[in-house]
Amino acid sequence: MSAQATPETVADLLPEVAELVVSTLNLDIGAGDIDSEAPLFGEGLGLDSIDILELALVISKRYGFQLRSDNDDNIRIYSSLRALTVHIATHRAK
């Protein structure tokens, strides 16, 4: 686990995480069409709690760390594609 994610690492990882979100949830939007700063819930991408559970499972398998439903930081982690990507970049197994 790295101590922090560099802006370059996050920028490199953003398209991969966007594609993971689209493919995991079968969204009718292109990965490149997701605004990295828009909310994932509600008025942004419109995800719900079931979507987040599915996404957490795939992220855990792909990046080698657990996203737990009882994590107090989940609101921040899932606040946007960029926030999720920063979290993945910071916690993924190398």
Q: Are 93 and 1 in contact (CB under 8 A)?
A: yes
Beta bridge partners of 47: 41
Give the whole-angstrom CA distance, residue 92 versus residue 34: 22
pLDDT at 12: 96
pLDDT at 3: 57
pLDDT at 16: 97
**Mean predicted confidence (pLDDT) in 48-74:** 93
Question: So where are the chain's domains?
Answer: 7-91
CATH topology (fold) of 7-91: 1.10.1200
Give the whole-angstrom CA distance, residue 32 versus residue 38: 13
Looking at the chain, the whole-number percentage of residues with pLDDT higher than 70 is 96
Distances (CA, A) of 81 to 19, 21, 60: 11, 9, 16
**Mean predicted confidence (pLDDT) in 26-30:** 95
pLDDT at 43: 84
pLDDT at 86: 97
**Mean predicted confidence (pLDDT) in 16-40:** 96
Cα angle, residue 16 at apex, residues 56 and 34 outer, rounded to 5°: 85
